[in-house]
Amino acid sequence: MEWLRHTLPQGPVLFTTDHQTQGRGQRDRRWSSEAGRDLCLSLAIPVQADWNPTLVNMHVALAVRDLLSHHLPANQSPGAIRVKWPNDVLVWHAREHRKAAGILVENVWRGSQWSTTVIGVGINVGSSRLGRSYPAVSLAEAWHEELTPSDLATALAEGIVRRLEGGVDGLMEDYHDALFGLGEPRTFVVHERTWHGMFRGVNAEGQGRFEWSSPREAETLPPSEWLSSSEVQWCW
């Protein structure tokens, strides 16, 4: 982001590191990685006139899923890799889906013009994740396969660019096919209150649709049917 304050890239520019010390995730949460064992990249891309920030997010999530699917063990089905709205990628391990990758997309504006998108991706490649409080896993732990983070970085950057250049035909359908937790009864926290309901999908503006089953308490109404990702917390 500092580099972009002084430079206007003419094409995609890939930044990687073997050791990220100040990783950030959604909602300013910390993103941890192990030196030399995980993938940490940022991809800066000049914005095209017909791009939409929400659809860029979807393209990136699917590009990460494409990359992981290429390495999926033969004994697992494609459903073993899921996208948790809006930007986490989960893999199947020990009878549940666990977080293996996170995405943070930040946009750079020059005046009123959206000029560049910076796509940050972290993938737990070879680190130790099992046993932590949050249900995470690395690819090495889930698949018992040794992968090289730098090789994955190049392949992922190429996959992101390829998806963005491919347009939006079929994008919403592909994204919904990959979504985690659709139609499953779950508990969510919305505006600091706990509610039971089902996640039903996402629209082109990036809002999630929910169907609430919690009864009304006194005069408290259930949350809106459509919510932004910043308003909803999934309870594992």
Q: How far apart are CA 198 and CA 185, in angstroms?
A: 5
Give CA separation, 175 vs 59, 63, 166, 182, 214, in Å.
Answer: 8, 10, 14, 12, 28
Cross-strand pairs, 61? none
pLDDT tens profile 42-86: 999 999 988 999 999 999 999 999 999 999 999 999 899 999 999
- The list of the chain residues with pLDDT below 70 reads 27, 214-219
pTM, two decimals, is 0.93
Q: How far apart are CA 171 and CA 188, in angstroms?
A: 27
pLDDT at residue 236 in the model:
75
CB-based contact 185:202 (threshold 8 Å) = no
